[in-house]
Structure 1
Amino acid sequence: MGNSNITPSYGSNNPFLDIPTEAPPAYESTTKSSNLEIPRRAASPAPSITSVTCDEDRYAFLTTFDTVFVIDDSGSMTGRSWREVREALSAIAPICTSHDPDGIDVYFLNHRSSNAGSGTQAPGGYYQIRDANQVQRLFKSVRPCGSTPTGARLHSILKPYVSHISRRAGDIDSTKPVNIIVITDGCPIDDPESIIVHHAKKLDQIEAPPHQIGIQFFQVGNEHGATKALRELDDDLKDQGVRDMVDTATWNSTTLENSQTLSAEGILKVVLGAVVRRLDQRST
């Protein structure tokens, strides 16, 4: 398991924020994603250390992985946390699209779209988000409220993907590996550890590559309980005897304005580190 705990420093890449204090944006309706035709995602060559690391392009790894975001939309995300997650995703979407025309998929813990999904995609998400305008409209249409059902939402996302590759265990390389990036500010009300262990065992049974699914948890805000919960998740999974597929990031850094920020660069840097580590595991 991986854990990032970095002391604040000028100019470092940091995904963590202050406690939210302001009201969310007003609700605005948007075009239903279910009205959009969703083309099937294409397979890509199996990733390698060489293909995911490149001096000329630090985001080369995005070409061979699908990128999925799971956003905490509980009531405590209202205000600054919500805005900064929105801005980080607005920056990430075009970066991902420049390497993979599929863009990114976005799910919320509580809110569900009317989209049924297809293939490896879970229902209730927003698929193939490619630019900042789409992200901005999406975040304006969702109002943070409710609790933090992290485990249940992860199960709904992992189940169709793991079922899909299980049916194709003899040709796993035909399905792109995926990075699932969870951004949350609170303790889950359920048990994400048991969900992750359940699916990790299935992946072990079919001998899926170590990099097939990676889950990266980013804490936003400075809620001590959330920090403790993520660290315990990371530590407890080490004792379960299953594959290493989870990384947690709970660090702070300071901007010029002396405020904590969630950055696209900080997120992608952690995800790349996790990808490289799992590819190293495959080669040893």
Structure 2
Amino acid sequence: MENPIFMHRDTFHSSSSSRPRQTMGFLKRFSSKRSSNMTQQMPSAFQGSIASARNVDHTTNPFATTQPTRRPRPAENVGAPPPYSAAPNSPADLATPMQVCEDSPYAFLREFDTIFLIDDSGSMAGRSWRETSAAIAAIAPICTAYDADGIDIYFLNHRNPHTTHGGYTNITTTAAVQNLFQTVRPLGGTPTGTRLAHILRPYLAEVATSMAQQTQGQPATVKPLNIIVITDGVPSDDVESVIVSAAKKLDSHNAESWQVGIQFFQVGREPEAAENLTELDDALSGTYNIRDMVDTVPWTGEEGQELTAQGLLKVCLGSVVRRHDRRRI
């Protein structure tokens, strides 16, 4: 029996003129292949209510930032996830983290620091930016619920002027994500490899130090890293070399196979971009004899649809869990 991956937004209630504007539903219909029967009930998709990006002073810091933490913390707010609601998220919903469940298929996310790397190049303006905002609105509640110190968000071009690394760290609510997107305007090129290198270089140094400490009997102090890249185009620099170099370093340290995962989630309809990202997923491991730490989710749907449980699960965990990497949706 075919499992639908997307749901039409027509099934959602329309908002009245007194409610906040809802974003056009993020919907991308991925080609669905026959999937195995699921033994657990996956959570339903979350529909975000994201305002359109607008011209705002980029130096405005919408929320306080702190340095990202890498030490594991105990899970909090353990409980059943909230039921799916067709009603729009209220401000209270946006500000309240989702409750987590011990046996959730997303539970493995607790082991990771999750970073979103967002393509804010000029080609993302308009439809692709709206789709990206809606995607983040659906994914962020899941990732923030299972990352005790919050998610981090980086952009390819925009920089947070209040941090040396230029990212926004320790974000714990969807409302904070929404506020952030209102401050960023897509503009510039697509330096995906350069920005990935900025994120991976200090992290790999931490891994090297942690692995050396473990050889002396000390516990690991660095959480695995789950990077979700949302982009619509072909990079303007060399992403492949950055990934290959990182994989070789991780292999040399005999790090866990899931120490770093990079998920490329394509928005837009650019065929060349889809082909390029697929090559990163399928070819690098065999070509360079390195670990497979890349997964891709190409967009093949239509505007006006929403990601459902299987799509969300692959986006969140496809780069670090092999069975999700192999899944075609």
TM-score by length of 2: 0.67
Structure 2 counterpart of 1:268: 313
1:97-246 → structure 2 map (5 Å cutoff):
97-116=144-163, 123-170=165-212, 171=214, 173-237=220-284, 238-246=286-294
Match of 1:28 among 33, 56, 59: 56
1:75 aligns with 2:122: yes
Per-residue CA deviation, residues 171-209 of structure 1 (Å, 9 max, x unaligned), is 373211011011110001111001111111111111111
Give, in whole Å, the separation in 2 of the partners of 1:279 and 1:10. Answer: 17
Contact residue 68 and residue 170 of structure 2 kept, 8 A = no
Pair 1:35–1:9, CA change in 2 (3 A): closer
Contact residue 66 and residue 170 of structure 2 kept, 8 A = no
Q: Which runs of 5+ in 2 are unaligned?
A: 9-25, 30-51, 75-100
Pair 1:36–1:67, CA change in 2 (3 A): closer
Contact residue 93 and residue 129 of structure 1 kept, 8 A = no
Give, in whole Å, the separation in 1 of the partners of 2:3 and 2:111. Answer: 32
Contact residue 171 and residue 177 of structure 2 kept, 8 A = yes
Structure 1 residue 131, shift from structure 2 partner: 1.2
Pair 1:136–1:35, CA change in 2 (3 A): closer
Give, in whole Å, the separation in 2 of the partners of 1:61 and 1:55. Answer: 10
Pair 1:15–1:208, CA change in 2 (3 A): farther
Pair 1:28–1:111, CA change in 2 (3 A): same
Contact residue 15 and residue 218 of structure 1 kept, 8 A = no
Structure 1 residue 31, shift from structure 2 partner: 4.7
Structure 1 residue 164, shift from structure 2 partner: 1.0
Contact residue 66 and residue 169 of structure 2 kept, 8 A = no
Contact residue 43 and residue 173 of structure 1 kept, 8 A = no
Contact residue 103 and residue 130 of structure 1 kept, 8 A = yes
Give, in whole Å, the separation in 1 of the partners of 2:67 and 2:151. Answer: 12
Per-residue CA deviation, residues 17-66 of structure 1 (Å, 9 max, x unaligned), is 8xxxxxx6322347527953446343259xxxxxxxx8842221121111
Give, in whole Å, the separation in 2 of the partners of 1:199 and 1:15. Answer: 32
Q: Which runs of 5+ in 1 are unaligned?
A: 1-5, 18-23, 46-53, 118-122
Pair 1:132–1:190, CA change in 2 (3 A): same
Structure 1 counterpart of 2:296: 248
Number of residue pairs matched? 252
1:5-84 → structure 2 map (5 Å cutoff):
11=7, 16=28, 25-29=53-57, 31-32=60-61, 36-38=65-67, 40-43=69-72, 56-84=103-131
Which secondary structure does the structure 1 equivalent of 2:114 belong to? strand
Per-residue CA deviation, residues 86-127 of structure 1 (Å, 9 max, x unaligned), is 22223333322322221210000111112435xxxxx11000
Contact residue 104 and residue 130 of structure 1 kept, 8 A = yes
Contact residue 96 and residue 104 of structure 1 kept, 8 A = yes
Structure 1 residue 169, shift from structure 2 partner: 1.4
Per-residue CA deviation, residues 143-165 of structure 1 (Å, 9 max, x unaligned), is 00111111111111100100111
Contact residue 197 and residue 240 of structure 1 kept, 8 A = yes
Contact residue 62 and residue 176 of structure 2 kept, 8 A = no
* CA-atom RMSD in angstroms: 3.2
Identify the structure with bigger relative contact order (alpha carbons < 8 Å, sequence gap 6+): 1
Question: For residue 193 of structure 1, what is the amino acid of its counterpart?
Answer: E
**Which structure shows the higher helix fraction?**
1
Structure 2 counterpart of 1:48: none
